[in-house]
Structure 1
C-alpha cells in the first residue's frame, strides 16, 4: 500500500480518535461555559496569562502560546476587555502590548478551574484504566511534534 493512502482500518481509527477527542473536549467546554460564562478562548487566555506570565504577558507571546494569529487574539481580547477580564497597556520600550489579567478575570479563572477539572475527570479520566493512561501518555509524547521519535510532553 502507498504510504500516502490509508486503508479502511486506519481511517476508522483516525475517525474514532478524532471523534472521541472532539466529544470529550466539547463536553468539558460546555460544562465550563454553562457554569462560568467563559468561552474556550476566554479560559485559554486567562489560563496562559497565569500559567506562563504570572498574570501578564506580551500580546505576541500570548498569541504564540495559543497558536492564534494577531488579529484573532486582538478581537478576542477586545471582547474580554469589555467584560472586565483583562486589560491591555502599551509597553514603553517598544511597540508591544502587555495583556494583564484583572481581578475579575482571576476570579473567573479560579471559578472555572474546578469545574473544568471535574468535567475532565468525568468525561475522560474516569473512563481510563492505568494501562490506558500509560498508553495515551506514550502516544502523546511520541506524536506531540508530529515526529514519531519525539519524546516531549504535550502542553495542557
Structure 2
C-alpha cells in the first residue's frame, strides 16, 4: 500500500483549497496519462509550472487510458501509482484524476489561467481552449523534449524482451 498522497485531490477538494489562493494566483493546468514517467514528462511539467504560481495535473483514470486505445495492456501503472510518482515532482502542486475521455469538464471546474499541452498538440486541438480563452487565459503548446515517449519506451522494452 502506498503512503498518503497529499497532492491527490477530488475536484471538490481542489475547489475548496482554491478558495485560499491569493488574489492574482496564476493556475496552470495540463493533463495526460503519464503511464511511465520519463525525462520528456519531467521537462514538460517543469516548464508548464514555470508559467504560473501552481500546476494542477489532470490525470487520466485507468479506464480513461484504456479507452484512448493505447493498447489492452495499458496503463502499465495504475492511477494511484501514477499519481504517487507525479506527486513526488516539485513542479506538480495538485493532481485530480478524471474518468472522462477528455479533461473538458475538469477544466471547466478548475478554471485555470493557463492551459498547457505538449508540442504534439496544435493550439486549435487543445481540449478546453475555449473555456480558458473565454476567461481571458492563455493556451500554450510547449515543445517536447525529443526522443522520449511512453509508447516508444514500452516498444523498446518489449523488443529487448523478445531477444
TM-score normalized by the length of structure 1: 0.31
- Structure 1 or 2: larger helix share? 1
- Structure 1 or 2: larger strand share? 2
TM-score normalized by the length of structure 2: 0.30
